[in-house]
Amino acid sequence: MTAKNFSKVQKQLGAKPAKWAKYVKHNKPKEREFGYGVKRCEFCGTTRGHIGKYGLNICRRCFRLNATKLGFKKLN
Ligand SMILES: [Zn+2]
Positive or negative CA dihedral for 31, 32, 37, 43?
positive
Ligand 1 midpoint to CA 40 (Å): 8
Q: Kindly give the distance from the C-alpha atom of residue 7 to the centroid of ligand 1, in angstroms, as a whole number.
A: 19
pLDDT bucket at 10, cuts 50 / 70 / 90: confident
Each residue of 14-68: pLDDT tens digit?
A: 788 898 888 888 887 778 899 888 899 999 989 999 999 999 999 999 999 999 9
Q: Which CATH number fits domain 39-76: 3.90.76.10, 3.40.50.300, 3.30.70.60, 4.10.830.10?
A: 4.10.830.10
CA distance 12 to 5: 11
Domain ranges in the chain are 39-76
